[in-house]
Homo-oligomer: A and B are copies of this chain.
């Protein structure tokens, strides 16, 4: 009876080391003068220096890519999920006024292919560089029996900082403030289980299929569009103290996310009419999904919302930053998020 070793148990340590070698260069590019550690140490080291902040506060958030990864797997393209994850996390702490410092990733799969893991981490590193944060560490786990061949789960943690006096928690929001939206690129990283159920299972489409509603784009291309980071567009607004609240529109849609920052006594009246990417219309039509369910599951073209007492100035600055802001409604007296009309 022959012996058994780690490789024939389904875990290939050498392939793991090859993946690390492939990632190293890209990860190192994200390191700035605050990073004290070399790769390969147990933990990543980052100087806790916060120049110009009277009362520095760390802001941390963890998230995953969700089943958008299934689309990446079907497309055989893991180059963009890194940006999806980093940009998602950057936006999540941006709503509290925080600037990212560093990021750590977790990649898990059933059978590690060094090239795929390297493709994911390269994407993470690229997005970290774009958002000015260091990719400080990570874990790549090969877990045979847990994941289907070709499937990779990807999650990550972001840590940023904000001066305590500059934390934005929505308490400054007042009735009469305008709500300004920033366009999403598509689904970003939310609603993919519903989208897959409708497009692939119910309608029988595949990622390479086309549909008149999508113009020249394939279904997979429309679904895989990268989650946008709003950090660089928002920085001048935050510096100018022009914003009373922000919401990153993820799972739960506008109703589920805007409500999280509204203070007692404040509701919102959303006025649809902005450009809704065609992929949402396709999902609604093919799935026979109600308007209310669409609003709860998807961002519907509004990736980020800003509440402000200075809508003209905010709009002007966002236009200068290259954004395409749109009016999305108004803060009203109340305690809920309502819509003035339809639709997708």
Distance of A61 from chain B, by nearest CB (Å): 4
- The winner among A13, A61, A70 for most chain B CB atoms within 10 A is A61
Interface residue count for A (Cβ, 8 Å)?
Answer: 88
CA distance A3 to B157 in the complex (A): 36
Distance of A294 from chain B, by nearest CB (Å): 10
Task: Say how many copies of this protein the assembly contains.
Answer: 2
Q: Is the CB of B146 within 8 A of A5?
A: no
Q: Is the CB of A4 within 8 A of B194?
A: yes
Q: Is the CB of B59 within 8 A of A197?
A: no
Asked if A202 lies at the interface with its beta carbon under 8 angstroms from chain B, I say yes
CA distance A10 to B196 in the complex (A): 10
Residues of B within 8 A of A93 (CB): 42-43
5 A-B contacts (beta carbon < 8 Å): A2-B288, A9-B198, A36-B167, A139-B155, A146-B148
Could you list 20 further interchain pairs (A-B, Cβ under 8 angstroms) beyond the known A43-B93, A106-B155?
Answer: A4-B198, A4-B287, A9-B194, A36-B164, A40-B260, A42-B93, A42-B248, A43-B98, A43-B160, A46-B57, A47-B164, A48-B50, A58-B102, A60-B137, A62-B105, A64-B108, A66-B141, A67-B143, A67-B146, A106-B157
Residue numbers of A with Cβ under 8 A of B are 1-6, 8-11, 13, 36, 40-48, 50, 55-64, 66-67, 69-70, 92-93, 95-96, 98, 102, 104-106, 108, 136-139, 141-148, 151, 153, 155-161, 164, 167, 169, 191, 193-194, 196-198, 202, 248, 251-252, 260, 287-290, 293, 296-297
